[in-house]
């Protein structure tokens, strides 16, 4: 599961040491370092991520400025990573999630930013599960269903949109 992500990460510029979020999570667990509680929503998506060995993430929709988009940057997008004290702008040629105010998640799914991070006070979340391996389509669908079920059951969430985004179907509209 890690090899396909390493190959994908070779296709764009990354910050030194950047790895797919699932690789980092799996390494941590396999070394015997437990994943501690963060917030209920993050704990749920980490559970799904580890269950299916797929990267799962989330952002606070109310903290976003405009639409979220995944694309190659020109560099210089504003970004403060969770746990950091200094801004670390995007690199030219880096693939990242952005909105109108800057980067949301660096190097595809490597590091989440402070500005749109889910907190206990978040009331609207954008949750995403990613797969670059077409052979794992069934795992992606099952993980999506489990994530949806868990946030409804444990957080009382309403699901406004659930969709698999592909090259052929690259956009999604979230309505409330």
Report, as ranges of residue numbers, the positions in the chain whose pLDDT lies below 50. Answer: none
Phi then psi for residue 2, to 5 deg, are: -80, -35
- Report the alpha-carbon distance of residue 173 to residue 156 in Å, rounded: 22
pLDDT tens, position by position, 112-148 = 999 999 999 999 999 999 999 999 999 999 999 999 9
| pLDDT for residue 176 | 61
| 2-155 classified as CATH 2.60.120.200 | no
| pLDDT for residue 173 | 87
- Report the alpha-carbon distance of residue 14 to residue 159 in Å, rounded: 33
| pLDDT for residue 174 | 82
């Amino acid at each position: 599961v890690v090899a396909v992500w390493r190959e994908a990460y070779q296709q764009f510029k990354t910050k030194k040491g950047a790895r797919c979020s699932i690789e980092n999570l799996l390494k941590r667990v396999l070394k015997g370092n437990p994943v501690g509680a963060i917030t209920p929503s993050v704990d749920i998506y980490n559970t799904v991520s580890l269950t299916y060995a797929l990267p799962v993430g989330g952002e606070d929709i109310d903290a976003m400025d405009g639409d979220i988009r995944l694309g190659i940057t020109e560099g210089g997008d504003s970004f403060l990573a969770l746990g950091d004290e200094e801004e670390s702008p995007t690199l030219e040629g880096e693939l990242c999630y952005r909105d109108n105010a800057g980067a949301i998640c660096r190097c595809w799914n490597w590091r989440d930013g402070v500005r749109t991070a889910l907190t206990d006070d978040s009331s609207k979340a954008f949750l995403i599960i990613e797969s670059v391996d077409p052979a794992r389509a069934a795992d992606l669908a099952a993980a999506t269903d489990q994530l949806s079920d868990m946030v409804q059951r444990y957080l009382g969430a309403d699901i406004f949109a659930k969709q698999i985004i592909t090259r052929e179907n690259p956009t999604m509209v979230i309505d409330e």
